[in-house]
């Protein structure tokens, strides 16, 4: 097994960073070996990276279904458990039942979405993270691991693409 080194290349803009990701792929690194760190949001398509799949939509749909079922119980089950006859009114009034169904469905959806995002982002993380203060000033960093013997070739290629600095990265506590 070859020994790997972690490097961090700092770019002034997103275009050279996207070209660097392509160049690293062309030099044999996989997407699992790279991470783009930015102070501003950048989509996967902007950087030429594969789309990140999430379980949040499925969890949200499950929460909405669970909320709907709880709403059905409240709207239709409770009147049968505790019937209250009010002069000439139906046992289950439709307009208030629709409101209860809607509200419980939305409550289930919102709670499941919040929990899904919370769990999907692996929050909180107490592990050391890679950070460079220049990222807060608008720079884009490409963090990658490469074999030690390819270091010189990769650093020369990234410098030709406009990297301001390419240095070994150390994980630090924030």
Question: Taking 80 as the threshold, does the pLDDT of residue 168 lie above it?
Answer: yes
Taking residues 76-100, what's their average pLDDT? 89
**Phi, psi of 165, deg, nearest 5:** -155, 145
Q: Give 143 or 39, the one with higher predicted confidence.
A: 143
Q: Which residues sit opposite 143 in a β-bridge?
A: 8, 35
Residue 86 has pLDDT above 70, yes or no: yes
Distance CA 138, CA 49 (A): 20
Cα 83 to Cα 93: distance, rounded to the nearest angstrom: 12
Q: Dmax over Cα atoms in the chain, in whole Å?
A: 87
Higher pLDDT, 135 or 64: 64
* pLDDT, mean over the chain: 85
Stretch(es) of the chain classified as CATH 3.30.70.120: 4-51+127-168
Query: Rounded CA gap, 121 and 47, in Å?
Result: 20
Contact 5, 145 (CB under 8 A): yes
18: pLDDT confidence band, cut at 50, 70 and 90? confident
- Which top CATH class is 4-51+127-168? alpha beta
Does pLDDT of 131 surpass 80?
no
Q: Residues for the chain: how many in total?
A: 174
The listed range with the strongest mean pLDDT (42-46, 99-103, 114-118) is 99-103
pLDDT at 129 over 70: no
**What's the Cα-to-Cα distance from 111 to each of 55, 106, 119, 145, rounded to whole Å?**
14, 9, 12, 38
Q: How confident is the model at residue 139 (pLDDT cuts 50, 70, 90)?
A: confident
User: pTM higher than 0.85, yes or no?
Assistant: no
**Angstrom distance (rounded) from CA 105 to CA 57:** 15
């Amino acid at each position: 097994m070859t020994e790997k080194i972690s490097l961090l290349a700092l770019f002034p803009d997103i275009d050279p960073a996207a070209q660097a990701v392509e160049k690293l792929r062309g030099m044999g690194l996989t997407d699992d070996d790279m991470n783009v760190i930015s102070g501003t949001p950048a989509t996967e398509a902007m950087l030429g990276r594969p789309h990140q799949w999430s379980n949040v939509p499925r969890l949200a749909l499950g929460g909405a279904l669970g909320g709907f079922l709880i709403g059905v119980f409240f709207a239709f089950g409770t009147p049968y458990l505790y019937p209250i006859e009010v002069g000439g009114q139906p046992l289950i009034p439709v307009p208030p039942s629709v409101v209860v169904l809607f509200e419980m469905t939305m409550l289930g959806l919102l709670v499941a979405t919040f929990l899904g995002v919370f769990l999907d982002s692996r929050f909180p993380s107490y592990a050391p993270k890679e950070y460079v203060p220049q990222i807060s000033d608008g720079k884009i960093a490409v963090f990658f691991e490469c074999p030690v013997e390819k270091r010189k070739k990769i650093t020369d290629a990234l410098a030709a693409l406009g990297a301001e600095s390419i240095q070994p990265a150390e994980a630090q506590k924030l």
